[in-house]
Amino acid sequence: MMETAFAIVVGFLFAFSVYLLLSGSLIRLVLGIFVLGNATHLLIFVAGRLTREQPPLIPAAMKVAEPGFANPLPQALILTAIVISFSLFAFLLVLAYRAYQTLGTVDTDDMRDAEPAPGPARLRGRDV
């Protein structure tokens, strides 16, 4: 039951991030990447099953824990992924700001500094 609810939330977050990522504004792209990362973390969280109030501890007399506990490994994976995505998100924010300072725009359609200059001999689509 909980898994279904979470699956819907994850699906909604993915849809939302795809919507943001399809935009041409750098700020929305940064936010889209951020939401996508969080959706992924929740997805992995759900993949480890959701069970409350049953710690994954192995009793002294047993070799394995009693079945039914939530798998703690995905939570460790998410912790790693959160740290990585947080640092990369910080980099993207700085990069977006620097791009705005240097290139004077946040519209990805106007970012053509690294593309070949549209000379008279090779007209490109947007210049015709």
Partner 1 sequence: MSEPVIADSAAWLVVWPVLLPILAASLAVAAWGHGRAQALIGILGVAAQFFSAVLLFAHVWSNGPVVMSMGGWPVPFGIALVADVFGAGLTVAASLVALVIIVYSLGDTSEQYRRAGFFPLVLALIAGVAGAFLTGDIFNLYVWFEVTLISSFGLIVLGGRREQIDGAVKYAFLNLLATTFLLIAIGLLYGMTGTLSMADLSTKVAALPNDATLETVALLFLVSLGMKAALFPLYFWLPAAYHTPLPAVSAIFAALLTKVGVYSLVRVFLVVFPEGADLARETMVWAALATMVLGALGALAESDIRRFVSFTVVSGVGVMVAGLAIGTDKALLGAIFYIVHSIIISAALFMAAGLVSRAGAGSDIENLSGLYKGAPFLAVAFLLAGLSLIGIPPFAGFWPKVYLVQAGLEAGAYALVAGVLTAGFLTMLAVGRTFALVFWRAAPDDAPLPASGAQQGGGLVLKGALGALTFLTIALGLYPAPVVDVSTRAASELLSPQPYIDVVLGEAGNGESRP
- Widest CA span of the chain, in angstroms? 81
Q: Interface residues for partner 1 in 1-20 (CB under 8 A)?
A: none
| Residue 72 CB, nearest approach to partner 1 (Å) | 12
**Residue 104 carries which DSSP code?**
S
Does 98 bind partner 1 (CB under 8 A)? Our answer is yes
Is residue 51 within 8 Å of 69, Cβ to Cβ?
Answer: yes
What is the number of helices (H) and of strands (E) in the chain?
A: 3, 0
**Binding region for partner 1 (CB under 8 A):** 21, 26, 29, 33, 36-37, 40, 43-44, 46-48, 63-64, 71, 73-74, 77, 80-81, 84-85, 87-88, 91-92, 95-96, 98-99, 102-103, 108, 111-116, 122
